[in-house]
Structure 1
């Protein structure tokens, strides 16, 4: 009986374990794993839309820049924003700002966009994930990815501007580098 249970336990673990990026049909070099308190979020990168923004996100991710960074602005029904190492919404990386890469890709649920200041060419390291349709952002902010798995974990991020006890990115990695 114990052996039968063990066989079913192993099979269940294999069947319900998260699939790797390549097993999901995603390019591991253009897939991010973002680990949050409630689980892993898988983001498909869109270098076809924003090659410079994707390159920056991957560069910062590989440097460990996003590990431990909080979600400093989370608006119910709109979006969760992170990527500022100061946690204030005023900071960024030491790298130069990026030129806008606006497209007609819509901001629908799970789309990841680059945050910026008033200037279209002021994006640096901050990004946001929209909870719902945010079509008023279309063509005004750079779309660089989309959540393909784990949106329920994004939905669970603590709300606030800033949240009293903000959630953080535990670890973010390019799938090709994941161990």
Structure 2
């Protein structure tokens, strides 16, 4: 599972000096791996059947402008993609979006003061596209509200399809440990992202954090525009 670490998790790691196992896609956090939970009801969907043996070949032009319109069950929002600063990551996202990989996938991890995470066809935080991509770190962007970054484990180059969007002040805690490749920012419709973040949650299946949505919030489609 992959996911970004929240402030409480970071403090616990320092106190115990052990590796915390976090939940979420691409782990939605400074993610670390954990046993795979039983796939949820969407485990047999068409989206999950989309899998590749290797990352897509470079097909974007990093000198062009790319945006992604994300249509969800709670409304639409637009992401400005940082093709010049994170070409490998953006190329991967564009490829998956055009393949319809994200259609029907849920936001499986939600922490209103931190982030919302999606991109896992299993809906458990353990799924992906069948491959991983190279990390693109050290860019000019910071983790803040609206920032879009890949979820992954703490292992290098472990991101695949899961990503998260910063939704609250706690996202700033990741700036002290910038392990999640930033590849975009919400440019329009942040109110919709906030609406997603306000979805009621309960403890996850491992009892670690209150982040499991109590209602399904789904990506309908992602439409890529190139200029």
- Alignment check: 8 A CA contact 2:64 2:83 kept: no
Aligned residue for 1:127? 163
SS of match in other structure, 2:89: helix
Aligned to 2:87: 51
**Unaligned ranges ≥5, structure 2:** 1-62, 202-210
The answer to whether structure 1 residue 145 and structure 2 residue 184 are counterparts is yes
* Aligned-pair CA distance for 1:28: 8.2
2:101 is aligned, of 19, 42, 65, to 65
How far 1:136 moved relative to its partner? 2.6
Which residue of structure 2 aligns with residue 170 of structure 1? 220
Aligned positions of 1:6-17 closer than 5 A: none
Any unmatched runs of 5+ in structure 1? Answer: 1-26
CA distance in 2, matches of 1:125, 1:147: 18
Instruction: Give 1:63-142 correspondences, 5 Å limit.
Output: 63-94=99-130, 96-103=131-138, 104-133=140-169, 134-138=171-175, 139-142=178-181
- CA shift for structure 1 position 132: 2.5
Aligned length: 150
Change (3 A) 1:65 1:28: farther
Q: CA deviation at 1:99?
A: 1.6
Quote the offset at 1:128 in angstroms.
Answer: 0.2
Structure of larger gyration radius: 1
Q: What is the aligned counterpart of 1:38 among 68, 74, 79?
A: 74
Change in CA separation of 1:41 and 1:65 when aligned onto 2, cut-off 3 Å: same
Question: Normalized against structure 1, the TM-score is what?
Answer: 0.78
Give TM-score scaled by structure 2 length.
Answer: 0.62
Judge conservation of contact 1:73–1:159 (CA < 8 Å) in 2: no
Q: Work out the CA distance in 2 between the residues paired with 1:118 and 1:77.
A: 22
